[in-house]
A and B are shown apart, each in its own frame.
Chain A
Amino acid sequence: RSTDRNADMQVEATGADAVLNDNGESVLTGVTITQGTLRIEAAKATITRTAGDISRIVLEGTPAQLQQENDNGELMKARARRIDHNPVTEVIVLTGAVEVDQGTNTMRGERLTYDTKSGRLNADGGGGDGKIRMTLQPRKTTEPAPAPAGEAGGGR
């Protein structure tokens, strides 16, 4: 959610190597990060701070996992070997065995850019067979399905 950015970011890790100044970088291992609806799990996280605020989070894992709700409350779950999350521009770049599930839709590929603000997904095949696989579930319609021809109008 866009409000996530103003929430505190809580981190649990097995180790930390942090430079404590306004423009420092912290490398954490065995990481779980939560910030509002954002939840991250990774073997390694590199958190960069610029002028005291977090400007970039690079996650590595087999896979690294990230999930976040958008402002419509839809949950987006992403897995990849590398996730590069920019909380300022709210753009996430995923590379390496990328899998993204949003609601009932899924996307697979080697490289995917996800603008969490606009919800725009930009994918390219990258390595592997170069293909992107998407599964878009039909939107559930509200009207009832048309009744078979014989029964129309009866039974009132």
Chain B
Amino acid sequence: MNLRVLPVVALVLVAVASSWLLWRLYQREEPASLVGPPRSDYALTNFDLIALDDEGRESFRVTGPMLSRHPFLGTLDIEQPRFRFPDADGQPWNAQSARAWAAADGKELRLVGEVAFDGPPREGGGRIELRTPQLTIFPDAREVKSDALVNIVSPGATLRGRGLYANLDTRRFQLLSEVRADYAPSSRR
């Protein structure tokens, strides 16, 4: 091979190497694209929402300062929600928390942060008052559950435990562990 070609080949190689290097560096400098919650496709402020079940009856109502809908999943993120759930007799159970997540079909609600869940007032006075850091509510089935510590005050009985499963219609509350209960005779209420 003719020796005079060598310098040309070397120059071509150097040019290719430096442009490849430049391309690589450019790649690395490109700022990482912002990975965060996708923008909601809509957000409501000071809203009042009524969700209906499959038969068109009110499943739950929720009001609050801010609601945003996930663009792909259709789930809702709600700040400082105030919920109302009618039980089988149409009596309202009320719930509020710091935040809540609602499934796209509205069949599951997860309340998080200082959850207060109160039953309707009873004829004899008083009502069931439940406090917990986290509560999952299934509105149509009118069932609630929690994995956290739960404190339940009801007329004449205070129950506390970890892990809850409850049915609002039957007023049946199952506490799964670490149970403490205190029954006060009506003579002292």
Using CB atoms and an 8 Å cutoff, list the residues of chain A in contact with chain B: 5-22, 24, 26, 28, 47, 49, 51-54
Nearest B residue to A31, CB-CB? B179
Contacts of A20 in B (CB 8 A): 128, 152, 154, 157, 159, 171-173
Nearest B residue to A18, CB-CB? B173
Contact of A54 among B159, B177, B185 (CB under 8 A): B185
What 6 new A-B contacts, CB under 8 Å, besides A18-B173, A28-B181, A49-B183?
A21-B171, A22-B155, A28-B179, A52-B124, A52-B189, A53-B186
Most buried by B among A22, A49, A52: A52
Nearest A residue to B155, CB-CB? A52
Interface size class of B (residues with CB under 8 A): 20 to 34
Using CB atoms and an 8 Å cutoff, list the residues of chain B in contact with chain A: 122, 124, 128, 152, 154-157, 159, 161, 170-189
Contact of A52 among B156, B175, B180, B181 (CB under 8 A): B156
Contacts of A6 in B (CB 8 A): 185, 187-188
Nearest A residue to B152, CB-CB? A20
CA A40 to CA B181, docked complex, whole Å: 14
Contact of B188 among A8, A13, A16 (CB under 8 A): A8
9 A-B pairs, CB-CB below 8 angstroms?
Answer: A5-B185, A8-B182, A9-B182, A12-B179, A13-B181, A15-B174, A16-B175, A18-B172, A20-B173
